[in-house]
Amino acid sequence: MQGALDYVVLAALRPVAAGLAVLYAVFAFSHAVLLPAGIAVLLAAVAASTAAMLFGLFVALRRWAIPAHWAHPIGAAVSGLVLLNSLLHLALTAEPLQTTNLMLLVIGAGFLLLSTRCLALVITATVIGWLLVVWAAGPSPVWQHFGFALLTSTVLGVLVHTVRVRTLSRLERLRLYNQLQNVELDAVLQDLGKSEAWLEKKVKERTQELRQALAQLLEQQRLQRDVELAAQIQNSLLPDRAPALDGFDLSAVALPARYVSGDLYDFFSETSQEALIFLADISGKGIPAALLASQARALVYAEASRNESLAGILSSVNSLFYKDLSRAEMFITLMVARLDTRSGRLVYANAGHPPALWWQQAHGACRQLPATGLPIGVFSDLAIGQETIVLQPGDVLIFYSDGVTEAENGLGEFFGVDRLLDVLLANAHLQSDELSRVIVENVERFCSQAPLSDDLTLVILKALPRTVDFANPADREGT
């Protein structure tokens, strides 16, 4: 409220100062011409000085920015200056009627320029000055007329001032309300700006996350394609079908725990009377194990072409492969067997591979054929032996990887050799491919919903019934 009054008074100071300066310039001229010579010079000089000061105030208000809180002190000074001129004019000329008009002018300027407190001081000073003049000059009807005019103008001025104050008070409240509304609007806009910035930040973060996720997805898809390609290449290395052998039924199955397998099997057969069976299991799974298995297959191929001894083949593979395996901190269990279908003789060498199961139809019993040496890659110089057995009609020989016996169910139990023996004893009469299917089904049923923990490979060889017995009926011969 006070701030609004300050600005109103400050805005009124310049036109009031200009108007009073012109008026007092006219007074200076009229006093010099009309008044008696004794007082003309003094009143003209006072009026001219007042006009000059008011005009200087007008120029200062136009040129410089006056602080609003100076408005009332300057207004009081203007009112006091005009009051002094009026009282001096009244005291020297003793013309109450003319001086009354000057007094009303002073009070009117005070109504416009001053606050309630300053206006009361001006009116009080005016009344005291009027009383002093009346006391000095004596009472008369003229002075009573002046007093009544002073009272009337004061009451009207106070009313006008009150209306102005109330109006300004309402305007001030409206201004404060609008200011509050603007502050609230600014706060809302600021909050919206913050929310927009936050949303923009989140959008950028989510966009970056989506880009990273897309890049990871593309990378995973690329790796998936590479793995699938590796699986296709590995599958191409496996034989399309088992060779047809006189008097024997041969089949194999391989189930990788992942896309590619660390297990590998193969058959080398140039005629229907002989076959070389190869089965390997790399420690580990996935692409590294698959690469090493493929390399082991190539080495066995190369050594088998120039070495008749199976033990010699495995020893040569160990010598050639040892450095690579030791650097990779891996090893290979490898089994190689050579079958002569005419005699039923099977020579095998086993470097750390799980013992083969030999079902002997004539005895109605199953025997395990233990390993003849340590895994490939354990030592640089391995002593690997070989053994010979003769298969009779109805016999079944199962070579398998540890992925069969170490298949695990949800309770942490292994399928084990005993369960494999039970399946073999119950289904030894089946063909080799049917027997392998039954074994895989039992393993999968045992594991239930649990995935394979390791690569699973089976090679099953079955001696078919013959009209002529084998030439060498020995169960097992050392070489």
pLDDT one-digit tens code per residue, 387-407:
999 999 999 999 999 889 988
For 372, counting Cβ atoms within 10 Å of its Cβ (0-12 exposed, 13-18 middle, 19+ buried), the class is buried
* pLDDT (0 to 100) of residue 75: 74
Which residue reads 């609003």 in tokens? 68
Evaluate whether 161 touches 169 at the Cβ level (below 8 Å): no
**CA 349 – CA 353 distance, rounded (Å):** 10
Output the CA angle 298-300-302, nearest 5 degrees.
70
* Residue-level pLDDT at 300: 86
CB 59 within 8 A of CB 17: no
Q: How far is it, in rounded angstroms, from Cα 340 to Cα 269?
A: 11
CATH of domain 240-478: 3.60.40.10
> Is residue 343 a contact partner of residue 471, using CB atoms and an 8 Å limit?
yes
Task: From 285, 227, 288, 330, select the one nearest 453 (Cα to Cα).
Answer: 285
Return the amino acid letter for 130: W
Q: What is the DSSP string of 68-121?
A: GGGHHHHHHHHHHHHHHHHHHHHHHH--HHHHHHHHHHHHHHHHHH--HHHHHH
pTM (2 d.p.): 0.54
- Supply the pLDDT for residue 478: 40
Q: How far is CA 423 from the centre of its chain?
A: 55
User: The tokens 């300050």 sit on which residue?
Assistant: 6
Close Cβ partners of 316 (under 8 Å, ≥ 6 residues apart): 299, 303, 307
Q: Phi/psi at 470 (nearest 5 deg)?
A: -65, 150
Gap between the Cα atoms of 253 and 260, Å rounded: 14
Average pLDDT, the chain: 77
Domain with CATH 3.60.40.10 in the chain: 240-478
pLDDT < 50 stretches in the chain: 1, 467-468, 472-479
Distance CA 282, CA 365 (A): 31
Three-state DSSP at 281 gives strand
b/e map 403-417, b = 16+ CB within 10 Å: bbbebbbeeeebbee
Q: Kindly report the CA angle at 220 between 217 and 222, in degrees rounded to 5? A: 110
Please tell me the predicted confidence (pLDDT) of residue 213: 85
Rg of the chain over all Cα atoms, to the nearest angstrom: 61
Number of other CB atoms surrounding residue 440 within 10 Å: 16
Counted residue by residue, the chain has a size of 479
Nearest to 161 by CA among 103, 109, 88: 109
Using CA atoms, how far apart are residues 194 and 199, in angstroms rounded to an integer?
Answer: 8
pLDDT at position 474 is 43
Which tens digits make up the pLDDT trace of 207-216? Answer: 888 888 888 8
Contacts with 22 (C-beta within 8 Å, 6 or more apart), sequence order: 51
Return d(Cα 470, Cα 252) in angstroms, integer: 25
CA-closest candidate to residue 249, choices 370, 339, 336? 339
Identity at 6, one-letter amino acid code: D
